[in-house]
Amino acid sequence: MARRALSLSKVYQLLEPGPVVLLTTARNGRPNVMTMSWHTMMEFEPPLVGCVVSDRNYSFAALKATRECAINVPERDIADKVVACGNASGRDIDKFAAFGLSTAPASRVAAPLIRECFANLECRVVDTRMVAKYGFFVLEVVAAWADRSRKAPQTLHHRGYGTFMVAGETVRLTSRMP
């Protein structure tokens, strides 16, 4: 095996769990959306999701103030819009209008759901103890929606600098992990 030292700045490209998601927030009646790939499952039920949202992002203040958001899971068909939402700020533009994303009201939170995504998770912030140090928010999913007809969703997995792996192949193995 031709193993070579990897620059520490590239480590994230190996461990990025994906799928890349679109995080929506709404503050003072103004919705916004940002691309996010630094998230992790933390508990089965109620589902807890940890995520890193940089305080440089406009979404940070909205998430901190409203303590609500939605995680929307896109597929490759809207990959260009996903990248666009990660390279522009809601401080400057309405990304929904600019990139052609349509919204639907959520049932339990003010943040909108994105119709073009195959799954939508309505979330409340339940722990902010690591926000100041790491921008790490712990979210509880309070309602979840999915298009069950999409059996093998082609989710996007970030490899850095505009490179993505696309999921889709399923393998079945014996495992006791639920």
Of positions 20, 101, 113, 138, contacts ligand FMN by CB under 6 A: 20
Told to check if 89 binds ligand FMN by CB under 6 A, we report yes
Angle at 82 between CA 135 and CA 20, to 5 degrees: 55
Ranges within 120-159 binding ligand FMN (CB under 6 A): 158
Residue 131 three-state SS: helix
Torsion of CA 125, 131, 136, 141, to 10 degrees: 0
Q: How many residues sit close enough to ligand FMN to count as binding (CB under 6 A)? A: 21
21/83 Cα distance (integer angstroms): 10
Ranges within 26-65 binding ligand FMN (CB under 6 A): 32, 34-38, 52-54, 57-59
The set of residues, in sequence order, having a beta carbon less than 8 Å from that of 103 and lying 6+ positions away, is 24, 31, 96, 112, 113, 114, 115
Choose the binding region for ligand FMN from 80-88, 98-106, 109-117, 124-132 (rule: CB under 6 A).
80-88
Q: Which CB atom, from 54 or from 102, has the smaller least distance to ligand FMN?
A: 54
Q: Which residues bind ligand FMN (CB under 6 A)?
A: 20, 32, 34-38, 52-54, 57-59, 83, 86-91, 158
